[in-house]
Amino acid sequence: MRYLLLIPIAVVFAFPFYWMVVTSLNEPNQLYQFPPVLWPHWAWSNYIEAWNEVPWPRFYLNTIVVAGATTLLVLATSALAGYAFAAMSFAGKSLIFGFVVAIYMVPNEVTLVPNYITLTHLQWLDSYQAQIVPFGASVFGIFLFRQFFMTLPRDLWDAAQLDGCTHLRYLWTVALPLARPVIVTVALFHFVLGWNAFLWPLIVTSTDRYRPLQVALAGFNITDNHQPMLLAAGALMTTLPILVLFLFAQRQLVGGIAATGIRG
Amino acid sequence: MGVREAFAVGAATSGYVRRLEGRALEGYLFMAPALILLLAFVVLPAIWVLVLSLYRWDLISSDATPIGLANYQRMANDSLWWKSLWQTCYFVAVTVTVGTLLALGLALLLNSRIRGRSLFRAAVFAPYVTPAVATIVIWEWIFNHDYGLLNSVLAVFHLPKVAWLTDSSAIMPSVILYSLWATVGFNVVIFLAGLANIPPDLEEAARVDGANSWQVFRRVTWPLLSPTTYFVLLISSIGSFKVFNVVYVLTEGDAGVTGGPDRAAMTIGVYLYKQAFEFFRAGYASAISVALFAIILAVTLLQMRIASRRVFYR
């Protein structure tokens, strides 16, 4: 009974992805037909044509650099801050933590104009750092690391301290290796976020040298509006890495996202 | 207390204090990288945008002119701003209510030991993680008037073709349709997490007492799920107020006019972008940012108020 509902729903949700594949593998004479042709005709040449139209390798490199560096930066800043909030004592700790959580309320859109002005002054427009540094700290990351580090037994730290271990060394050699699930969740979440980023890179990049895949694809959409098979090929090329990542790490990704919701 | 002891206590406390201070300093150092970035790119800009909204500035010339509240007066008389605001509210109302109900239904269907559960969940969730621009580009083709998939589905039922992207009364429904497809998976995952937190014995006890499925849902599941429902409503309305990508990608292009035919899909996010980065009106765009922030804050506070009366926490 449930399947009678679930199977059509799943098909509806998955169909646009199938359609991406079909469209990318058909010739124009199959595409400009009504009703549409529902299966691919294996026109692989579309991919070669789409690939040669714009410098895709450059865009891939840009996206990987930006998403990768942002992820590493977020991991570093979040692990340090999360550890401080969980395991260190200093004046105003809970006040500062409340403040950090409140920051979650500020939508990115509100800070677009001021941040653009800041980057202009730093002369960072059209660069990698313009796409990385503003997203280098994550309230979500700090929160997850803090929650995890709070579960570590106090004795572990006391014992390490007796052996002359510093906080930084303890964090690096004991706490972080134990925090692997959190690292994976935060890393996946921010890598996907970086890969999919659109509005901010659209504003701060102006040349192919630093433009990421998503902005390039949107530009491709405007210039190549009349060749759906090339667009679909481009769309699939930018989607495939994330789709593969998602299928392999579904549990962690979904779990991480659910974690944000459990205690809203 | 002798002098010696007093000295000892003094030395001990000062040593203790010094050690505490050293520790405190270390704590601040650990937080510093994250806090400095958050201050520089979130907190200070959120304050600065208030100041900027009182100026006229083109983002390029060296001086900005203070003009008081003129940007807000301009907003009050700007019919396209009011249109964007109204259309955004319409978009939020539909996507949040339909999206929440749809997600709840799907989560209830998926919340059982059925075969291929993770496959179904993956199908529903995939649109949320895949890059928006890529999926919007494909939907643009699905929405195509002459050769689109959607119109051929309509043709199967002998319904007339719809100009999904070029008719001013169809563009917003198209934007909503895409957004539901793209975001409902996130809500499903949150609802599934919420459902997993409900102890099964409560529902079982109700069933033993002779409650039917609807009664179990209405009297047990629904109240216990209310914190999750509240979270979904909050997160999806905040997200919906900021809608940008789908409108921008669907309507920028050879249609030429961002916001769609007759600007019928213009939203606050897109209008803000246009004012700031196409017309270079930094002051006016900042005023719009302030308004967007105020709206989101108001919605959050309103929902918190309602939640304090309606949400049932165990």
CA B234, chain centre distance (Å): 8
Whole-angstrom distance, CA of residue A174 vs CA of residue A171: 6
Residue B109 distance to chain A (closest CA, Å): 7
Using one digit for the tens of pLDDT, what is the confidence trace for B207-241?
888 888 889 899 889 999 988 898 899 889 988 99
How many C-beta atoms surround the C-beta of residue B302 within 10 A? 11
Q: Which of B98, B278, B229 is nearest to A203 (CA)?
A: B278
Mean pLDDT of B155-163: 90
Write the CB contacts of B260 (distance below 8 Å, at least 6 apart in sequence): B165, B168, B171, B172, B247, B250, B251, B266
Residue A26 in contact with partner chain B when CB distance is under 8 A:
no
| Chain-chain contact of A218 with B52 (C-beta, under 8 angstroms) | no
User: The pTM is what?
Assistant: 0.90
Residue spans per domain, chain A: 56-212+240-262
Mean of the per-residue pLDDT values of chain B:
87
Residue A217 in contact with partner chain B when CB distance is under 8 A:
yes
SS3 A158: helix
Q: Which of A201, A213, A226, A58 is nearest to A129 (CA)?
A: A201
CB-CB contact of B285 with B265 (8 Å) = no
Regions of chain A short of the pLDDT cut 70: 224-226, 256-264
The answer, yes or no, to whether residue B13 has pLDDT greater than 60, is no
Q: Which residues 49-88 of B have a C-beta within 8 angstroms of A?
A: 49, 52, 59
pLDDT at residue A50 in the model? 86
What tokens does A11 get? 């098909």
Mapped to the 3 state alphabet, what secondary structure does B27-91 carry? Answer: HHHHHHHHHHHHHHHHHHHHHHHHHHCCEECCCCCCCCEECCCHHHHHHHCCHHHHHHHHHHHHH
pLDDT at residue A263 in the model? 38
Write the CB contacts of B35 (distance below 8 Å, at least 6 apart in sequence): A81, A96, A100, A137
CB-CB contact of A26 with A43 (8 Å) = yes
pLDDT at residue A264 in the model? 31
Beta-strand pair B55-56/B65-66 = antiparallel
Fold for the domain defined by A56-212+240-262 = MetI-like fold (1.10.3720)
pLDDT bin (cut points 50, 70, 90) of residue B90 is: very high
pLDDT at residue B1 in the model? 42
Among partner residues B37, B133, B276, which is closest to A136 by beta-carbon distance?
B37
Residue B24 in contact with partner chain A when CB distance is under 8 A:
yes
Whole-angstrom distance, CA of residue A91 vs CA of residue B176: 48
Q: 1.10.3720.10, 3.30.565.10, 1.20.120.420, 1.10.220.150: which CATH number matches B70-310?
A: 1.10.3720.10
Q: Is B194 exposed, middle or buried (0-12, 13-18, 19+ CB in 10 A)?
A: buried
pLDDT at residue B227 in the model? 86
The answer, yes or no, to whether residue B132 has pLDDT greater than 80, is yes
